[in-house]
Structure 1
Amino acid sequence: MKLSWKKFYDIYRRKQTSLVVVSERPSPDGTKPGRLRVVHRESEAASVSFVKSVLKPGTIVHVDYGSQWMRLNIHFELKRVNHSVTYKQDDACTNWAESFFSRVRAAERGVYRYWWPKYAEQYGVELAWREENRFVDNGAQVRLIISCLMRSGLSTWTGYWQRHKNRFPF
């Protein structure tokens, strides 16, 4: 089947979604590591409510110049960076999030065989866990994973390989 450019573009555009990360900076003394929260939405504008829900009042938010983030200005102090000009503007810097996204792009090319948009949030959560625990030794990571597995219930991936649609939630 041959697709016209318009048809191809419409199909391609529907696959474009946004993985949005809220990255907490680690404490200056190094006692508290930074946490990451990841959400997958059809656009960045659709993730504004998620961002508002995970931030505490009084938080200073560093964002790029996307117009969708202006809605956060009502609730939080915004510091904005224009990435077409510089990577850091005054005190505003989004490099913690950009570092995460460089790891996401590397994983998309090298770790995952195919990046399915419908599983992007699961990929993002896994990569956020890896990012948060990158300084933890491998043995402690394995113990952490096993203890979490022993406390968790039925996995959302149950039946994935067998294609059990009734057991697979997405």
Structure 2
Amino acid sequence: MSQHFLLSSKARTISVRKIASMSESECYEYFKSIRWSSNKGNPVCPTCGSASSHYFIESRLQYRCKDCFHTFSITSGTIFHSHKLDFKVILLAIVIFSNATKGISALQLSRDLDVQYKTAWVLSHKIRESLIEQKSDDKLSGIVEMDGVYVGNYIKPANNINDRIDRRKAFKPNKRVIISLRERNLLGSGAGKTKTFILKSENNVDINAIAKSHIAPNSEIHTDENSAYDDLLAHYDLKRVNHQIEYSGMNGENNNQSESFNARFRRLQYGQCHKLGTLYLSNYANEIAYREDTRRLDNKAIMDDILSRCLADNSISNEFCGYWQGNHRVAERLGA
């Protein structure tokens, strides 16, 4: 039996120890190499696009463009705009986030970085936000699996059995289902692209809307026998598996890759965060989708990819910049 990828040396190409041994100036140069990788790490004015006409204000770690006189920094216009943490602390947070294959709680991150819980919570959510904002909008095609995993429906029963209430048919206002779409790799090595959506229930209307917007016509879709997927047969080659009998059908019909997403999400829910609200559930779901899609990459490649997403132009956080001063998300993200 071959060795699991995470046990191999190929999976370990960066470490917390290596980042911790770097100086603040070295971390700053690393940020430069990622932010302006297309210009070999040399600054590019975010306003006029000039790649050479600027000078460095060393005391403020800022640049001033000689063409348009705009003053900018390495994090201007990015998810880390107006940051107060050192570059080294941010880089440590990203490598810790990258190494946590099943997610990490803000409380653990605050202990690892020796920062307040509030700081760690906002920082981790800014990273999650960058994963959402920079994800691809391309439609999935080929063989696509769909499945749902329910969250937010558990109420702890009373201690005495005579005091317990049967809530199985009761309305649960915070109950949500995460619908995962996973495109299989052509070479049979699991799934390569994953998309997630939050619904209040598995139903025909929402499932059809998601499929129409995110799955190419005539694709082959694999699901279980939930009736919410029945109407997909009209536009797609629908394959069903009866999970009461088997995990995989006689002709290979299964949604095991979506089940793999469900399993990893449960590890985040039960093992890390313990309780997830509805407001930011889409962020956590997309994080697990990203971890599933990058599970075969070494940790430095994952760290560099996350950092490049965080340093993308015009990606200032609208929901977490000034969060503790009252700038909150107004409503949860539901549907397609």
Contact 2:192 2:293 (8 Å CA) reproduced: yes
Counterparts of 1:52-63 in structure 2, within 5 Å, are 52-63=212-223
Distance 1:168 1:17 in 2: 18
Other-structure match for 1:143: 304
Of 20-29 and 75-84, more deviation after overlay is shown by 20-29
Q: CA deviation at 1:117?
A: 2.2
TM-score (norm. length: structure 1): 0.85
Distance 1:75 1:8, change over 3 A: closer
Other-structure match for 2:326: 164
Distance 2:256 2:168 in 1: 34
Contact 2:183 2:193 (8 Å CA) reproduced: yes
Distance 1:21 1:161, change over 3 A: same
Distance 1:48 1:115 in 2: 27
Distance 2:296 2:308 in 1: 19
Other-structure match for 1:36: 194
Is 1:125 the counterpart of 2:311 in the alignment? no
What is the aligned-residue identity percentage?
A: 24
Which entry has the higher C-alpha Rg, 1 or 2? 2
SS at 2:280 equivalent: helix
Find the partner of 1:73 among 227, 233, 237.
233
Aligned residues: 165
Distance 1:67 1:33, change over 3 A: closer
Higher relative contact order (CA closer than 8 Å, sequence separation 6+): 2
Find the partner of 2:260 among 91, 99, 104.
99
Other-structure match for 1:24: 183
Distance 1:57 1:14, change over 3 A: same
Contact 2:207 2:229 (8 Å CA) reproduced: no
Distance 1:53 1:92, change over 3 A: same
TM-score (norm. length: structure 2): 0.45
Q: CA deviation at 1:5?
A: 4.1
Distance 1:148 1:80, change over 3 A: same
SS at 1:35 equivalent: strand
SS at 1:62 equivalent: strand
Distance 1:60 1:79 in 2: 7
Once superposed, which parts of structure 1, at least 4 consecutive aligned residues long, lie more than 6 Å away? 6-9
Q: CA deviation at 1:161?
A: 4.7
Can you give the 5+ residue segments of structure 1 that lack an aligned partner in the other structure?
A: none
Is 1:114 the counterpart of 2:275 in the alignment? yes
Distance 1:65 1:36, change over 3 A: same
Q: CA deviation at 1:115?
A: 1.0
Across the aligned residues of Structure 1 and Structure 2, the Cα RMSD in angstroms comes to 2.7
SS at 1:21 equivalent: strand
